[in-house]
Amino acid sequence: MEPSLADPSSRVAEALKATRALILPVDGVLNGGRLTFDGRGEELCSVSVRDAVAIREAVRHGLLVSVFSERAAEGYRPILEGLGVQDIRLGSASFLDAYKAFIAAHGLSDDACACIGDDVGDLAVLERVGLPVTAINGADWLRNRVGYISAFEGGSGCVREVVEMILGSQGLWPWVEPSAEED
């Protein structure tokens, strides 16, 4: 999303309507920036139920969802597969390279993608996508470099808010009351 003199809310509204894919990193966005291990050193994985419902609805309504991690966070794979996530790239050496492979595999343009990031390592992808978003608890440095700052923290409803916005703008979120203009 290039800076311009246009009303920022109209630019976000246009980007929401154009979004066909949502890219999410595991760390910071899905797991809230927490890594938890059991007594054997095995990672314990969890995802917000609100975020999980939103991911399932996004997939059900045709939004491509891709989840990346530079770590081999394999504990997330069964959770993500159970939600219907179509593209899971765990243990990717580079978030940007994984993103490029994802859009090439699905014939997508950057403008058709939204990405939620929370730290400077996500910036290379956030700078390319049509709708760059950060969680409210994302790195301060990202705040002037994204198109939208979620009102929710990563791992605590940020994904849900963005999915609601995308599907709602496209008339696909099933729990939105029609506006007076649509009646």
Per-residue pLDDT at 4: 44
- Type of residue found at 91: G
Task: Tell me whether residue 51 is annotated as binding.
Answer: no
| Inter-residue contact 115 to 22 (CB < 8 Å) | yes
Per-residue pLDDT at 61: 96
Give the pLDDT band of residue 181 (cuts 50, 70, 90).
Answer: low
Q: Where are the alpha helices (DSSP H) in 61-171?
A: 77-83, 95-106, 123-126, 158-169
Domains in the chain (CATH in brackets) are 17-170 (3.40.50.1000)
Q: How far, in Å, CA of 163 to CA of 36, rounded?
A: 26
CA terminus-to-terminus distance, the chain: 32
Kindly report, residue by residue over 83-116, the tens digit of the pLDDT.
999 999 999 889 999 999 999 999 999 999 999 9
Per-residue pLDDT at 6: 46
Task: Tell me whether residue 118 is annotated as binding.
Answer: yes
Per-residue pLDDT at 177: 62
Give the 3-state secondary structure of residue 4: coil
Kindly report, residue by residue over 48-83, the tens digit of the pLDDT.
999 999 999 999 999 999 999 989 889 899 999 999
Average pLDDT over residues 162-174: 92
